[in-house]
A and B are shown apart, each in its own frame.
Chain A
Amino acid sequence: MNLLKISWSNIRFRPLNTLLSVVLLAFGVGIISLMLLIKDQISEKFDRNIKDIDFVLAAKGSPLQSILANVYHVDAPTGNIKVADAKRIVRNPMVEKAIPLAYGDNYEKFRIVGTNKDYPDHYGCEVENGKIFEKPFEATIGYEVARDAGLQVGSTFTSVHGFDRAAEGDPDAHHHDKPFTVVGIFKPSGCAIDHLILTPVESTWLVHEHHADEETGDTAHSLDHPEDEEGHVHDEPSPSDPDGDKEMTAYLLIKRNKGAFGMLSKQTEDTTMQLANVAVENSRLMNNFGIGLSTISAIAMVITILSFISIFISLYNSMKDRKYELALLRTMGGTRMKLFALILSEGLILVVLGYVIGLVLSRTGLLILSKTMKENFHYGFDKLGITPYEFLLLGITLLIGIVASLLPALRALRMDISKTLSNG
């Protein structure tokens, strides 16, 4: 027998009141904590993907889309640009580094990105197993690709045209014949490479040239003499190709000096290309996103306030119903402070219950959301630990419990037992 046992029995004795208070609080806490988790993890993931990339050079269209497609790998690209056109900008002295990206295919919904070694290097991605791709149709894959598509070093796979089409169960999916060989798997890095298949730019060109004209010469040539390609990929990134009609989806640019955006942007004016400023687009994205989160958080706050009122009313009513009980406790040796503590602890038990259930809800929500996001974008939320915000949230919920139970507890403290018992 102790105080907590008595308060717990009292709480269980009024299951409907308890349920209402706890459920409201759990939803309030759950939604707030879910929003915090999402916001934290998304901005962390986004920041990791941005990592010093200043501009994206891609086909004209929505600049935001070109960032989404090429930096975060969640949207479809705006189109292709000609390597010959891009050269002017990519080779501009104001550009310190330009990383080429060429899309077009997927394997099991994982995007195949034609690029060069600069791309994983930029993100500090290291190969855990095997090596980095060197020749066309060699692929180094993210650890999620390896895990979810069941690929290992030495596995081969054929790509499917498009971004999100699954290979199986879709008769319209166009398979390419030439298989890719996995030559390496990256260590988990937390950025988009985790769910990408990287291959030399040439692979994507070859796949699609082959597809376009069914002409074998060019393809056969590179396939027959892959060693020709090797040094080439390494020494000179694709822009220096004897390009002809070669196309690229985008270039990720890192500027050398300030003010580069305006100057470079000017050079795209008469072309089919545009330059998107990552920082600007990202802050626009985060703002929009933030408005959404704030709206949901505001709703959660209203729910939390309702739970506060519910706890208050529930304790206050139960205090009134139990006034004889409380007087009885006094006649049996219970002090005023003990009654005060009893009511207060009932309030605190309610909020702690609500808080814990709320955290469970937010984790469940996060996992469900993460699953949907993974299916659609290969982005998941995997951090389920308690965040510092949630300690703050605990503090706030405890405060809610204390404030809501204070008035009923004070009434218990001040109660005139003689009067209460005489009216019985």
Chain B
Amino acid sequence: MLQTTGLQFKYDQGPSFHFPDIRCGKGEHLLILGESGRGKTTLLHLLAGLLKPTSGEVNILGQNTSGLSDRNMDQFRGKNIGIIFQTAYFVESLKVIDNLILPNYLTGVKIDRTKAKNALGRLNLESKINNMPANLSIGEQQRVSIARAIINEPAVILADEPTSALDDKNAQEVIALLEEQAALYGSALIIVTHDKRLKDRFTKQISL
């Protein structure tokens, strides 16, 4: 599903990173652990095609994403990669439900409100459908962003420190939901974090 080979990245006048090769198959979950400054976010951005590697390649669904044009990468990402950030971002002016269907609209997929509502239902957020994102608690926001990440049934879900802003209870909940939702469409789930609390939950781990 996703694999990298010889991935390297160097920032202009900044540090350079050499990443171990990663493989994550359909339905597999992978935890990438690393302290600050080890290039966790850089790796996640490389996997998501937000950055282009200096050398090496990222292969998703048999497609070498490093070779895609900006425009094609945006579309490829929208269709095949769901991303969850440490802080949940939203289009603040749109209701929760409209934020949820944005990936449909942006990738030209048929807009499916029922599916979006069901996704919110699974995350116990059906009452928040018409709320503005800013009126949700942080835990709720993170759950909505999980629902949004899977709306296009992505092959790969990338999560960047999804739990570090949350307390223990919420952190456990969010991880459980992540695993559950990833299993729904057999997505490969890759979590990048320094959160030690997650260490025991995942069998497959890589340290940077």
Contact = CB atoms under 8 A, between A and B. Distances in A.
Interface of A: 1-2, 5-6, 9-10, 12-13, 322, 324-325, 327-338, 417-418, 421-422, 424
Contact of B105 (A2, A324, A328, A336): A2
Contact of A333 (B42, B86, B89, B107): B107
A329 B152 CA distance: 14
Given A1-B98, A1-B111, A329 B106 contact: yes
Contacts of B77: 331-333
A324 B89 contact: yes
Given A418-B45, A421-B45, A333 B93 contact: no
B102 to A, nearest CB: 6
B94 A6 contact: yes
Q: Describe B's contact surface by its main secondary structure.
A: helix
A418 B102 contact: no
B106 A333 contact: yes
B35 interface: no
A424 B90 CA distance: 13
B187 interface: no
Contacts of A422: 41-42, 45
Interface in B57-112: 70-71, 74-75, 77-79, 83, 85-87, 89-94, 98, 101-107, 111
Interface in B131-180: 148, 152
Contact of A329 (B70, B87, B91): B91
A1 B45 contact: no
B51 interface: yes
B71 A332 contact: no
Contacts of B103: 332-333
Contacts of A327: 89
Contacts of B78: 331-334
B85 A333 contact: no
A421 B85 contact: yes
A4 to B, nearest CB: 12
Contacts of B51: 418
B93 A12 contact: yes
Contact of A325 (B50, B74, B85, B91): B91
Contacts of A322: 92
Contacts of B71: 335-337
Candidate in A10, A329, A331, A335 with the most chain B CB atoms within 10 angstroms: A331
Nearest to A333: B78
B85 A13 contact: no
A325 B105 contact: no
B12 to A, nearest CB: 11
B57 to A, nearest CB: 17
B32 interface: no
A330 B92 CA distance: 15
A325 B41 contact: no
Nearest to B91: A325
A60 B79 CA distance: 88
B48 interface: yes
A418 B90 CA distance: 17
Contacts of B89: 324-325, 327-328, 424
Contacts of B86: 424
B93 A10 contact: yes
Given A328-B91, A332-B107, 4 more contacts: A324-B87, A332-B102, A333-B107, A424-B87
A330 B73 CA distance: 10
A13 B90 CA distance: 13
A250 B158 CA distance: 92
A421 B46 CA distance: 13
Contacts of B111: 1
Nearest to A324: B89
Candidate in A5, A328, A417 with the most chain B CB atoms within 10 angstroms: A328
B70 A336 contact: yes
Given A421-B85, A422-B45, A332 B106 contact: yes
A340 to B, nearest CB: 12
A328 B90 contact: yes
Contacts of B83: 331
A417 B111 CA distance: 25
B156 to A, nearest CB: 13
Interface in B9-54: 41-42, 45, 48, 50-51
Contacts of A338: 106
A333 B79 CA distance: 7
B142 to A, nearest CB: 14
Nearest to B80: A333
Nearest to B149: A332
A421 B50 contact: yes
B92 A13 contact: yes
Nearest to A3: B105
Candidate in A328, A329, A330, A332 with the most chain B CB atoms within 10 angstroms: A332
A347 B10 CA distance: 38
Nearest to A337: B71
23 contacts: A1-B101, A1-B104, A1-B105, A9-B91, A9-B93, A10-B93, A13-B92, A322-B92, A325-B91, A329-B102, A331-B48, A331-B50, A332-B78, A332-B103, A333-B75, A333-B106, A333-B152, A336-B70, A421-B50, A421-B85, A424-B85, A424-B87, A424-B89
